[in-house]
Structure 1
Amino acid sequence: MSPSATKISPSLPVAIGELDIYLFGQGKHWDLYRVLGAHPHDGPEGPGYRFAVWAPNARAVSVVGDFNGWDADACPLFPVAASGVWAGYLPGFAKGELYKFAVTRKDGHTVLKTDPFALFAEMRPGVASRSWTLDDYAWNDAAWMDTRREKGLPLDDAISIYEVHPGSWRWKTKDYGSFYSYRDLAETLVPYVRDLGFTHIEFMPLAEHPLDESWGYQTGHYFAPTSRFGTPEDLRHLVDVCHQNGLGVILDWVPGHFPKDDWCLGRFDGTGLYEHEDPRQGEHPDWGTYIFNFGRHEVRNFLFANALYWLKEFHIDGLRIDAVASMLYLDYSREEGEWIPNKYGGKENIDAIEFLRDLNVVVHEHFPGAAMIAEESTSWAGVSRPVYTGGLGFTFKWNMGWMNDTLDYFAKNPVHRSYHQNQLTFSMLYAFHENFILPLSHDEVTHGKGSLIGKMPGDQWQQMANLRLFLSYMWAHPGKKLLFMGCEFGQWKEWNAREELDWVLTEFPSHQGAMELVRALNALHKSFPAMHASDNEWTGFEWVDLSDYASSVITFLRKAPDGSQILWNFNFTPIVREDYAVGCRVPGYWREIYNSDSELFGGTNTGNGGGVMAKPTTFGGWPYYLPLTLPPLAAVAFTPE
């Protein structure tokens, strides 16, 4: 028992306001995490903690921990009216103590459950909640937050995202588990990402999870930042430092499903409380998890409050919603007879659709400028279109089609690419149907898929050239950018969450060249409005030539509202193309502003001597043309002066 055990008496009733109960019942209590859970409380017997938990079908609920020998009879909670909430107050209970709820079901069986609203938890393999506080951090990012709020949604911004799994980015020693803390990451990750020129860091899920191998996608504590890397205040410090260095922070969030472990949300009071009772609606067959009951007000409120919690209490700039497709379809990954049609006989999950729409409306109302990002892999229409037009209301959608087609194309030997050029050009048929992010995420470089550079054909030089060409094409293509850690320097082995990145590679010139290329691409992306200002509309893009299949060459323009433009040329073969004619409208000198074959990046330095003069012609209906030298397996970009 803890030293405080002698001063803690059985819990006393704590009043919860009628308005709190009403809003919770309506599913609209945005600060629910300040009512339910464990919070400091100065009661009639002195300071302690008040507890409140929703368990409407329980026979009894109590607080247990080291402080009372885990005795389920020692510190009972009391029902609050007919709300389904149990509450109480423990004088003498201190910050940092471990606790759980002992929930007695109707059958008389008592199980120990973690607090769904716990603000902190013990380090794995333990799963107990840890009493904590919300307001012990002084922020220093007011300028960033004010600017974000005033600007609104970043649809026309130059956004390039560095995706990070903090448990394997870098270690203190070579031993697994010697993770960098949140504060270590503030000192190392932030300057690294800023130096490369990225605008945002996206963290894979940081909510507490007991299994490292789940990467955070099987969340155990939705309101508790994982203790692997420090305290909640340490995470706030990391976000604060990001903002002070001009970096936004995006957090992966998992509202679609949760693990079945008997200590967390599943069958919380002996019934399907947070999930559907019927496994055809309440269980995910692929992941062995429960699915939230999106039609229940209290469950919707739990998720609404959780999303707002990360945005409000941790100043997160955006949430990337995992596995949206699994939420939208009742028959997702199910055979006939394994799912229940909706009330109209269809396969659309109406409750989940309404939840996502309402979620996006609530977030955008409360936090103008915060981005909601959907990882949605189907052709569902209007994912990133406003709710009032019939869309789901997300800010951005991951372009999974672009990712799959482009990776498949680059994996082909250049001699065969001429037969598959449509894999590159097809994406432009739908490029502006949504507000897209082009993702090269962790999912593409793990579980037997190999590393990004490992997908490239040819000898080592050609593989590095193909990597530089792939990244160039990605940055030139309309859409925001997302790159997983390690891809920026061409890590050879596929990502393993139990190994740190191969940082030794960054000592070699070819890998340093890949990093220098990423710096150049990010600088170009920010500096030229043509690269981002009209990312989501046809006015920002124009094909120059997509028909030269035989040479595996494509050319297009990126254009800005002010009339400025950048001409991009891609040679997807190792053959140097000399005096290659490319049409243009603007006479005069076109300056070469980018060449992925530069020796600075590890290339052969084949190029155009800094630029070329446009020549008059009727070539292809263009009034002028540029006689270009196209380097091997390379991209070159020009702008008129």
Structure 2
Amino acid sequence: MLVNRLEQARLHNPFEHLGLQTSEDDKRHVIRAWVPNAVKVEVIELGTERSVGFLQKVDDEGALFESEFDGLTDDFAYKFKISNTEHTYQVIDPYQFRDLAYHAVHYVATKPQNLYEQLGAQLIEIDVNDTKVSATRFAVYAPNATAVSLIGEFNYWDGRLHPMQKTECGHWVLIVPGIAAGTKYKYEIKDPMGNRLPHKADPIGFCAEQYPSHASIVYNHDNYQWNDEAWLKEQAKVDRYKSPMSIYELHAGSWKAHYDNKGRTPLSYREMVDELIPYVKDMGYTHIEFLPVSEFPYDGSWGYQPVGLFAPTSRFGTPDDFKYFVDQCHQNGIGVIVDWVPAHFPEDGHGLARFDGTYIYEYEDPRRGWHPDWNSCIYDFGKDNVRQFLVASALFWLDKFHVDALRVDAVASMLYWDYSRNEGEWVPNVDGGNENYEAVSLLRWFNEEVYKNFPHAFTIAEESTAFPKVSRPVFEGGLGFGFKWNMGWMHDSLHFISKDPAYRKYHHNEITFSMVYAYNESFILPISHDEVVHGKGSLLTKMPGDEWQAAANHRCYAAFMYAHPGKKLNFMGNDIGQGHEWNHETSVEWHLLDFPKHKGIQNLYRDLNKLYTTYPALYEKDHEPGGFEWIEHQDAGQSILSFVRKAETSKQKVYVVCNFTPIPRDGYRLGVKDAGEYKLLLSTDSNNYWGSDYTENATFKSEAQTWQGQDHSIMIDVPPLATVYIVFDE
């Protein structure tokens, strides 16, 4: 019975029963409305404000009203004037807009961008009798649900009042006039057995409320006026492989905060404009990379357990606030990268897990659909709706927020069925192997769509295995990423530098091995958040020795990193020599800059960024073997390295000498290629960096003495635990 289904919020086809209907003899029209607690319902024509008449109660509960009317047309537009025991109000009946509602999902599957242009809560205007009606169109995918209702503050979260219509493709739709931007809403869903699920946030929601409601919020993305057109055009022309890239990675919630009697409050997006952008400019970084800012419920996940892939977290402000931050970064010559998490999602009740009571987003088999490392659900990368959803999310950040790059988290976990699983805990692919062909296909499609649609943008993979061609184009058989994090370099070099200098000679291959595979991929060298948390200690505390030696090791290693082929990434705190490992509940230890040691480390990172972005030899041929040459890499006994970086557009060469022991190397002869004068560019032992300012010359004249396989050589004094840069610039 209709009344029972309405009362129990179990109606899946309200357009066939409510609103303007044709009478059984097809000669008259019936208007039917479900209005609990109403006493009178009057029908008024939109535009003319003419009263057509009253609806009559037709059920014992007094909630279903209907009447037949003569002289109405199929496109008759109307509203209700409703009186109850407390007051009288007017609403435009949402069930008269069935054709417009159906139209929302007709083209969803034709391209990924249609998901965020058509689904979710879309603000629209309807032309009715020369009257503009503002409304919100809601559409959500829940193919196995038996009923879906729109709930929100506009209907007291009552699932009986706005049942949605199911379409043939599994979407549920409804247009509700009068719902404006800022309105909170969710979906009440009945599973295939008719059981009510926890209220669900919108998978395509553009803004969300924080705990405890996690409600979605209607948002207007058309209000913000961008001012970065020049930046986007310029970036579309940049050859990223021949350009400097020094990335400042940070966690927005723990970079800096306010403290008052209410406790700790992280900076908002707009406050970051005033504090973070000047800092990044002063330090000389080219890009900012945020740990995930997609909406997430649990602070302790750092954003890596997202439930809102189409919404920047409201912890720090509105979506327009985040746009303003990105816009201001671009106007200050800084690119913005965001971490994006398509590998897995949490089980929170308001999220995607068993969204309609079935596994429409995740693999059903726990051997594929459950991640043992992170206790989270794994997307089913073979399903069309999931593939469209994920690619649409990626494009959304580039489109609506103008971000410059997406760093894709946990790619290795996507590529292999047996990732972090023991024998018997995973299901092989159709060929009996461990490769997830569905994930490979998705990642290739994602990269193709990004580069096809957004020429200013690029992609980065966090991928820790030897999977081939991660950063090679799809047409070459690659995954299509622009860059890949060099986890091997990070692991080996940190393992080496953490050793006591007396034992480094036994681990010399760890600091040189990265050059064996340096050009297999287009690498970024990351000293990321993962290396300074969970008991690993800060970068500074990884260094052996007393206070002076630890700081010297830190500086020596930083300069080695900036000279090594590959783009650069440093997590916040690295560049001031933070003492404690990162804690997401506190801020960077900015007070340490009151001490000369930490100020010196910061001065070094600032100068390294400046030199790196100024001298083409340090970046132009990052990804070509011709840009690097060992001078001496076999002197394990002295733990000393030397190599040269070469420019492409000039004969500029930067020679790098690293002394990984606390013993000065006086009169060290360095083989060089050219006759002429050489200049000291940088020494990490400088007093400006809290070094010992070991005696050294500022210029060197080459001698016609062959050495280390080179036709010429120079004599230098190499400071203890230091890296020096020497430039030949014809």
Q: Kindly, what percent of the aligned residue pairs are identical?
A: 46
Aligned residue number for residue 300 of structure 1: 387
1:579 to 662, 667, 677: 667
SS in 1 for 2:548: helix
The letter of the residue matching 1:610 is A
Higher relative contact order (CA 8 A, sep 6+): 1
Please give the residue correspondences for 1:454-603 in structure 2 after superposition, counting only pairs within 5 Å: 454-561=541-648, 562-603=650-691
State how far apart, in whole Å, the 1-side matches of 2:512 and 2:90 are: 71
Please give the residue correspondences for 1:111-150 in structure 2 after superposition, counting only pairs within 5 Å: 111=197, 112-150=199-237
Which whole-Å deviations, capped at 9, do the CAs of 1:482-540 have from their partners, x for residues lacking one? 00001100000000000111111011111111111011111111111100000001010
> Are 1:313 and 2:397 matched, yes or no?
no
Q: How far apart are residue 124 of structure 1 and its match? A: 2.6
Q: How far apart are residue 607 of structure 1 and its match? A: 4.4
Q: How far apart are residue 29 of structure 1 and its match? A: 3.1
Q: Is the 8 A contact 1:383 1:391 kept in 2?
A: yes
Q: How far apart are residue 32 of structure 1 and its match? A: 1.4
Which whole-Å deviations, capped at 9, do the CAs of 1:339-388 have from their partners, x for residues lacking one? 11111111100000000001000100001131100000111110001111
Aligned residue number for residue 39 of structure 1: 122
Please give the residue correspondences for 1:359-374 in structure 2 after superposition, counting only pairs within 5 Å: 359-374=446-461
Aligned residue number for residue 176 of structure 2: 90
Q: Residues 352, 19 of structure 1: CA spacing in aligned structure 2 closer, same or farther, 3 A cutoff? A: farther
Aligned residue number for residue 252 of structure 2: 166
Which whole-Å deviations, capped at 9, do the CAs of 1:376-414 have from their partners, x for residues lacking one? 011111000111111100000000000011111111111
Q: Residues 144, 370 of structure 1: CA spacing in aligned structure 2 closer, same or farther, 3 A cutoff? A: same
Q: Is the 8 A contact 1:24 1:32 kept in 2?
A: yes
Q: Is the 8 A contact 2:632 2:708 kept in 1?
A: no
SS in 1 for 2:241: coil
Q: Residues 224, 382 of structure 1: CA spacing in aligned structure 2 closer, same or farther, 3 A cutoff? A: same
SS in 1 for 2:265: coil
Q: Residues 150, 622 of structure 1: CA spacing in aligned structure 2 closer, same or farther, 3 A cutoff? A: closer
Q: Is the 8 A contact 2:556 2:721 kept in 1?
A: yes
Q: Is the 8 A contact 1:218 1:258 kept in 2?
A: yes
Compare 486-495 and 600-609 and name the one that shifted more: 600-609
Aligned residue number for residue 615 of structure 1: 703
Structure with larger Rg: 2
Please give the residue correspondences for 1:383-402 in structure 2 after superposition, counting only pairs within 5 Å: 383-402=470-489
State how far apart, in whole Å, the 2-side matches of 1:507 and 1:77 are: 61
Aligned residue number for residue 354 of structure 1: 441
Q: How far apart are residue 249 of structure 1 and its match? A: 0.1
1:377 to 461, 464, 468: 464
Q: How far apart are residue 19 of structure 1 and its match? A: 8.6
Compare 14-23 and 49-58 and name the one that shifted more: 14-23
Which whole-Å deviations, capped at 9, do the CAs of 1:160-191 have from their partners, x for residues lacking one? 00001010100011665411000000110000
State how far apart, in whole Å, the 2-side matches of 1:462 and 1:145 are: 44
Q: Residues 7, 102 of structure 1: CA spacing in aligned structure 2 closer, same or farther, 3 A cutoff? A: farther
The letter of the residue matching 2:553 is N
State how far apart, in whole Å, the 1-side matches of 2:89 and 2:441 are: 50
Q: Residues 618, 225 of structure 1: CA spacing in aligned structure 2 closer, same or farther, 3 A cutoff? A: closer
> Are 1:276 and 2:363 matched, yes or no?
yes
The letter of the residue matching 1:574 is P
Compare 207-216 and 617-626 and name the one that shifted more: 617-626
SS in 1 for 2:257: coil
1:413 to 496, 500, 503: 500
The letter of the residue matching 2:658 is F
1:156 to 242, 245, 248: 242
Q: How far apart are residue 8 of structure 1 and its match? A: 5.0
Q: Is the 8 A contact 1:10 1:74 kept in 2?
A: no
SS in 1 for 2:634: coil
Q: Is the 8 A contact 2:697 2:716 kept in 1?
A: no
Q: Residues 20, 435 of structure 1: CA spacing in aligned structure 2 closer, same or farther, 3 A cutoff? A: farther
The letter of the residue matching 1:103 is I
The letter of the residue matching 2:638 is S
SS in 2 for 1:178: strand
Q: Is the 8 A contact 2:144 2:170 kept in 1?
A: yes
1:252 to 339, 364, 368: 339
Please give the residue correspondences for 1:197-346 in structure 2 after superposition, counting only pairs within 5 Å: 197-346=284-433
Q: How far apart are residue 192 of structure 1 and its match? A: 0.3
Q: How far apart are residue 68 of structure 1 and its match? A: 1.3
> Are 1:624 and 2:712 matched, yes or no?
yes
Compare 321-330 and 65-74 and name the one that shifted more: 65-74
Give unmatched runs, 5+ long, in structure 1.
Answer: none
State how far apart, in whole Å, the 2-side matches of 1:388 and 1:586 are: 41
State how far apart, in whole Å, the 2-side matches of 1:238 and 1:556 are: 40
State how far apart, in whole Å, the 2-side matches of 1:131 and 1:338 are: 42
2:272 to 181, 185, 198: 185
Aligned residue number for residue 604 of structure 1: 692
Q: How far apart are residue 279 of structure 1 and its match? A: 1.2
Q: Is the 8 A contact 1:584 1:625 kept in 2?
A: yes
Aligned residue number for residue 147 of structure 2: 60
State how far apart, in whole Å, the 1-side matches of 2:89 and 2:419 are: 53
Q: Residues 631, 39 of structure 1: CA spacing in aligned structure 2 closer, same or farther, 3 A cutoff? A: same
State how far apart, in whole Å, the 1-side matches of 2:533 and 2:91 are: 50
Aligned residue number for residue 13 of structure 2: none
State how far apart, in whole Å, the 1-side matches of 2:381 and 2:263 are: 38
Q: How far apart are residue 587 of structure 1 and its match? A: 1.1
Aligned residue number for residue 24 of structure 1: 108
State how far apart, in whole Å, the 2-side matches of 1:453 and 1:540 are: 30
Q: How far apart are residue 42 of structure 1 and its match? A: 2.6
SS in 1 for 2:630: strand
Output the aligned Cα RMSD: 1.8
Q: How far apart are residue 620 of structure 1 and its match? A: 3.4
Compare 351-360 and 297-306 and name the one that shifted more: 297-306
Q: Is the 8 A contact 1:450 1:493 kept in 2?
A: yes
State how far apart, in whole Å, the 1-side matches of 2:558 and 2:112 are: 44
Which whole-Å deviations, capped at 9, do the CAs of 1:309-344 have from their partners, x for residues lacking one? 100100000000000000000111111221111111
State how far apart, in whole Å, the 1-side matches of 2:356 and 2:710 are: 72
Q: How far apart are residue 283 of structure 1 and its match? A: 1.3
Q: How far apart are residue 640 of structure 1 and its match? A: 2.0
SS in 1 for 2:253: helix
